[in-house]
Structure 1
Amino acid sequence: MFSVRSTLLKTTAVQFGKLQLRQFSHLPLNVPVKLPNGLEYEQPTGLFIDNKFVPSKQHKTFEVINPSTEEEICHVYEGREDDVEAAVIAADTAFNNNSWATIDPLDRGKALWRLADFIEKDKEIIASIESLDNGKAIMNARIDVQLVINYLKASAGYADKLDGRLINTGETHFNYTKREPLGVCGQIIPWNFPLLMWAWKIAPAIITGNTVILKTAEATPLSALYVSQYIPQAGIPPGVINIVSGFGKIVGEALTQHPKIKKIAFTGSTATGKHIYQGAAAGLKKVTLELGGKSPNIVFADANIKKAVQNIITGIYFNSGEVCCAGSRAYVEESIYDEFVQELTTAAENVKVGNPFDESTFQGAQTSQMQLEKILSYVDIGKKEGATLLTGGERVGDKGYFIKPTIFGDVKEDMRIVKEEIFGPVITITKFKTLDEVVKMANDSEYGLAAGIHTTNINSAIKVADRVKAGTVWVNTYNDFHHSVPFGGFNASGLGREMGSEAIDNYTQTKAVRVRLD
């Protein structure tokens, strides 16, 4: 199914966690890949620095696995500290030579729009790469790619909107502010939405005049490398966007600690986010963090049950449950609890799990064996805690990282499966009697990323939305993103926002100018 020019390779294999690292002396900078749907393309394997694909300086590589088949797709070059240094030099040079930060903002917008156009023309290949590398259903991958296109184009529209303001302090002085870019920004993205997180990070950074060094997730580097080939074609100068594939403990640490990097943006687990925050604090870097969640999804008795069930399904089984804002805690009003649980269980058992390239598949593979094992361990924890496994909880097939959609009932609020982020297709269901009771349970979490409310009573919806501690609240919908609507969390779910004008604020600083008038 997959092919690389293995005759050109000389290898020495070593183990790095679950991945195989090798010393390749002549790994090509691109390899041919045939996708399961019959499409063929050339996959870049190098690091993308200064608008060129280059081998890593130590010529180390790591393998990329197809989570649906557990087979190797290809190897890509593994960046290390010396590669980060090369990327920093390129990004710092691009920022300080004024080839990007001080040009007409509309030119930055045009370049970003052209990048979106290149992706749009190639979106089926790109969606297929996402499915291959991540394991997500092709229908989900297409949604991701369209969101990428929309967001890049929306961000292009902010190019000439970075306005300052005039400040009246009387006739003796003229005062104004201006918003300026930060400089070189380090960005670290996760494996669950590889290309979407790439877009959420680079778009607000470069439209405001910054330059970036982005670390892909080691499990899913392929799509970010593939679309990087369009960066110079879009008219974005060398050094503005640099992509370094590698591991968090090496590349991530190097980005966090480098003195010339002025900003760190990270999406991932709360534990890793705390570590990055502490490291960045030593250099007084600006930081944005989009972290974990354990989001409540609340169903009132007056809700349209069939629509609410579908929203719950989308909230927890979309993207195989590997969504930071997944609605993993369902709270259902007591009077409809039994009916709702029956409807939801039936719907979950009808979710198509399997080959991501099957057009009827809704839930593809988990992205890695490690993640599959973590999810299954939480199923065991739930059983031992005394929760009732209503459906699922088992691996599907003997090849690929697939698991059945899982529902736990009879849970208590202090159970680990209720408190801890599982990051998989597992949901708990709890009944409630009153609005005050459900708000208290919904807020009884260290997280605060998202929440769902399902009701036909607008008064109930607004009351709960006002009181729930979450950065995003969806009413009668779930996992419903729009490029103009900011996304981010409260509490342990992070700092700062993605998308909307709020994302632009994350990548600028304010300069005040006060002029004495004679």
Structure 2
Amino acid sequence: MTGHIATVAGVAVDTRHWIGGRRVASAATFTDVSPIDGSVLAEIARGTAVEADAAVAAAKAAFPAWAATSREERARLLHAIADGVEKRLEDLAIVETHDNGALLRSHRRGVMPRVAHNFRFFADWLLDLGHDDFETRGHTNHVSWDPAGPCVLITPWNAPLMLATWKVAPALAAGNTVVLKPAEWSPLTASLLADIAAAAGLPDGVLNVVQGLGAEIGDALTSHNDVRRISFTGSVPTAARIAASAAPALTPLSLELGGKSPLLVFADADLDLAVDLAVEQYDNAGQVCLAATRLLVEESVAEEFTRRFVAKASGIRQGDPRDEATGIGPNIHERQVAKIDGFVQRALASGARAVLGGGPNAELGGLYYRPTLLTDVAQDSEIVQEEVFGPVLTLQTFTNEDEAVALANDTRFGLAATVATGDRERAERVTARLVAGTVWVNCFFVRDLQAPFGGSRQSGVGREGGTWSFDFYCDLKNTVTAPTGWAGRG
């Protein structure tokens, strides 16, 4: 590392904030460590209320001109950013793999192309955004989406750039300015995004990136009176603190939070498909909010399902995420690994049985946790009720449809659910009764940006995606015009 530039596998990353179109240093820094091998990647500018105020001020100053920019020009610039992402796709993939430990092949083939798609989708959706005028007793109603103002976007570490741009793209498309605060465990690609946006010609102050610890900079952002929208993805406790911070100013919130999603496997399902879906829940070392970590399997096929699952999951290669052959990499941080193992060891001490895994990978050391499946777990146990956010699944059985639905809905969460069945009518009955923002039937993780996304219960507040994103990032206005009176005074 030289000065404010960190070199990550040959890619230069500026470690300072991006505020008002220029790089800004802080008096202090925090250390960013790679989960792959524990090596220090960078010393990152550690923002405080000072940098938070500066970023919000820059966003506020840039807002009037950006809000007045035509839809066509905003869309053009979003496409230009997407072009920049595609040109630097390899750099982004390499840096993010080193920063959060997710598979390099996934970043190359799926995640970073999705980052570019986020910008293109919302640019195109903006140009078609509208509502047909309608009449009320001869009066014309016209609905419009007006830019709201500066937005604070707080993003997680498990898919840093993809989830950041899921928020940044619609916020910018809507005509808002943005202050992006990435997670302190994986901040590097947010800094690269600032470079890409600037190179694309985005005006100064329209996108700002501030880094730091949530406890030191977060409240200054979320309590700021000049902020008009806050979008957060993360944990329930942090969301509660953000909501309390935003309450005095009545700042609207969009919260995408945790999950404890079920995978319901009925006896009439294609068991090979069901096993594939279940093993897929280990994706990203289990660090996926949507993951169906509770396997609910009909009793008559549970033994065969478990046998096939263990056989398939045992074949997953764990190791360096930069290796094309690796199927599961490390977890993000030593604190996260300790949390995961704490859940598992307490479950085992309470009578659960590990039919797969059950602890860290002793051969690899570091932050590598073995894919784990626990059986003999009680419905009211911690391991069934609380989000682990690691490669840990539980398996329970049911005897009929009603019991399956009751078990599936018996948590405080409601983010997603997956159903495996060969009976279309059963699928319709069961999905209608499940409490979840997204339900997949005989598939998993198929997401279209035009669909609403969010959670029920403590899995979140609000929906984003397609027009729902613009509904959140805008002030909706209805203008009612009388049919007469245009002649004025005689």
Instruction: Sort the TM-score into its range (normalised by shorter chain).
Output: over 0.9
Give 3-state SS (helix, strand or coil) of 2:144's partner.
strand
For residue 397 of structure 2, the aligned residue among 431, 439, 442 is: 431
1:50 corresponds, among 20, 27, 50, to: 20
Alignment of 1:129-278 (within 5 A): 129-142=95-108, 143-171=110-138, 173-278=139-244
Aligned equivalents of 1:145, 1:175: Cα separation in 2: 41
Please give the alpha-carbon distance, in whole angstroms, between the structure 2 residues aligned to 1:402 and 1:513. 57
Letter of the 2:381 partner, please give it.
M
Q: Which residue pairs with 1:128 in the alignment?
A: 94
Q: Is the 8 A contact 2:30 2:43 kept in 1?
A: yes
Taking a change above 3 Å as real, the CA distance of residues 174 and 345 of structure 1, as seen in their structure-2 partners, is closer
**Equivalent position amino acid for 1:67 in 2:** P
The answer to whether the 8 A contact 2:115-2:165 is kept is: yes
Correspondence for 2:246: 280
Distance 1:515 1:307, change over 3 A: closer
Matched, 1:401 2:367: yes
CA distance in 2, matches of 1:398, 1:437: 40
- Aligned to 1:231, the other structure's residue is in SS state helix
Equivalent AA in structure 1 for residue 312 of structure 2: A
Do the aligned residues in 2 keep the contact of 1:147 with 1:483 (CA within 8 Å)?
no
Shift of the alpha carbon at 1:159? 2.1
1:116 corresponds to which residue? 82
**Partners of 2:373 and 2:393 within 8 A in 1:** yes
**AA aligned opposite 2:434:** V
CA displacement 1:128-149 (0-9 Å, x = unmatched): 1111000111123232112212
3-state SS, counterpart of residue 221 of structure 2: helix
Equivalent position amino acid for 1:245 in 2? Q
Q: In 1, Cα distance between the equivalents of 2:448 and 2:357?
A: 32
**Against the structure 1 CA distance between its residues 430 and 174, is the aligned structure 2 distance closer, same or farther, given a 3 Å change threshold?**
closer
Deviations 1:67-103 (A, max 9, x none): 111111111111111101111111001112x2x1112
Aligned to 1:23: none
Q: Assess, with a 3 A threshold, how the Cα gap between structure 1 residues 129 and 55 changes in structure 2: closer, same or farther.
A: same
TM normalised by structure 2 equals 0.96
The structural deviation recorded for 1:482 is 2.8
Identify the residue that residue 60 of structure 1 maps to in structure 2: 28
Match of 1:346 in 2: 311
Which amino acid is 2:33 matched to?
I
Could you say what secondary structure the match of 2:128 adopts?
coil
1:262 Cα deviation from its structure 2 partner: 0.9
- On the 8 A contact 1:186/1:214 being kept in 2, the answer is yes
* Change beyond 3 A, Cα 1:177–1:498: closer
Q: CA deviation at 1:394?
A: 1.8
2:293, 2:393 within 8 Å by CA — same for their partners in 1? yes
Partner of 2:6: 31
Distance 1:404 1:486 in 2: 34
Q: Sort the Cα spacing of 1:513 and 1:483 in 2 relative to 1 into closer, same or farther, 3 A.
A: closer
SS in structure 1 at match of 2:126: coil
Q: Are 1:139 and 1:362, in contact at CA under 8 Å, matched by a contact in 2? A: no
Q: Is the 8 A contact 1:29 1:53 kept in 2?
A: no
Partner of 2:454: 488
In structure 2, what is the equivalent of residue 77 of structure 1?
A: 45
Q: What is residue 332 of structure 1 aligned with on the other side? A: 297
CA distance in 2: counterparts of 1:208 and 1:217, whole angstroms: 24
Is 1:93 the equivalent of 2:50? no
1:62: Cα distance to partner?
1.0
Deviation at 1:167, TM superposition (A): 4.1
* Letter in structure 1 aligned against 2:451: V
**Partner Cα distance (1:53, 1:310) in 2:** 46
Residues 150 and 483 of structure 1 are in contact (CA less than 8 Å); yes or no, is this contact kept in structure 2?
no
SS at match of 2:127: coil
Deviation sequence 1:294-329 (CA, Å, 0-9, x none) = 000011112111121111111x21011011111100
Contact 2:230 2:252 in 1 (8 A): yes
Query: How far apart, in 2, do the equivalents of 1:339 and 1:514 lie?
Result: 63
Residues 500 and 177 (structure 1 numbering): CA distance in 2 closer, same or farther, change over 3 Å?
A: closer
Structure 1 residue 165: Cα displacement: 4.8
What displacement does 1:175 show?
Answer: 4.1
Partner of 2:186, secondary structure, is coil
Distance 1:137 1:498 in 2: 27
Query: Match for 1:43: what amino acid?
Result: V
Is the 1:63–1:75 contact (alpha carbons within 8 Å) kept by the matching residues of 2?
yes
Aligned to 2:414: 448
Distance 2:435 2:356 in 1: 30
Aligned with 2:67: secondary structure? Answer: coil
Residue 11 of structure 1 corresponds to which residue in structure 2? none
Tell me the alpha carbon deviations over residues 140-191 of structure 1, each in whole angstroms, 9 at most, x when there is no partner. Answer: 32321122122211111122233255342334x5543321011011111111
Task: Tell me the amino acid that sits aligned with residue 328 of structure 2.
Answer: Q
Per the TM alignment, residue 496 of structure 1 is displaced from its structure 2 partner at its CA by 1.6
The CA distance in 2 between the partners of 1:342 and 1:366, in whole Å, is 26
In the aligned structure 1, how far is the partner of 2:129 from the partner of 2:397? 48
Equivalent position of 1:22 in the other structure: none
Aligned 8 A contact 2:284 2:328 in 1: yes
* Partner deviation per Cα, 1:421-475 (whole Å, 9 max, x = no partner): 0010000001111111100110001000000001121111111111100000011
Q: Deviations over 1:329-377 (max 9, x none)?
A: 0001111100000111122211111101010111111000000000000
Q: Structure 2: how far apart are the matches of 1:131 and 1:105?
A: 35
Q: In structure 1, how many angstroms separate the alpha carbons of the residues matched to 2:275 and 2:175?
A: 44
Equivalent AA in structure 1 for residue 241 of structure 2:
H
Of 324, 329, 348, which aligns to 1:364? 329
Aligned residue identity for 1:269: S
Q: Secondary structure at the match of 2:125?
A: coil
1:165–1:178 Cα contact (<8 Å) kept = no
Counterpart in the other structure of 1:14: none
Q: Which of these residues, 249, 253, 272, is aligned with residue 306 of structure 1?
A: 272
Shift of 1:399: 3.9
Q: Which amino acid aligns with 1:144?
A: V
Tell me the distance in 2 between the aligned counterparts of 1:216 and 1:63. Answer: 14
**Structure 1 runs of 4+ off > 4 angstroms?**
none
What residue in structure 2 maps to residue 41 of structure 1? Answer: 11
- Go from structure 1 to structure 2 and tell me whether the alpha carbon gap of 1:179 and 1:498 turns closer, same or farther (over 3 Å shift): closer
1:364-402 Cα distance to aligned partner (Å, 9 max, x none): 110000000000001111112211111102212354200
- The one-letter code sitting in structure 2 at the alignment partner of 1:53 is R
TM-score (norm 1): 0.90
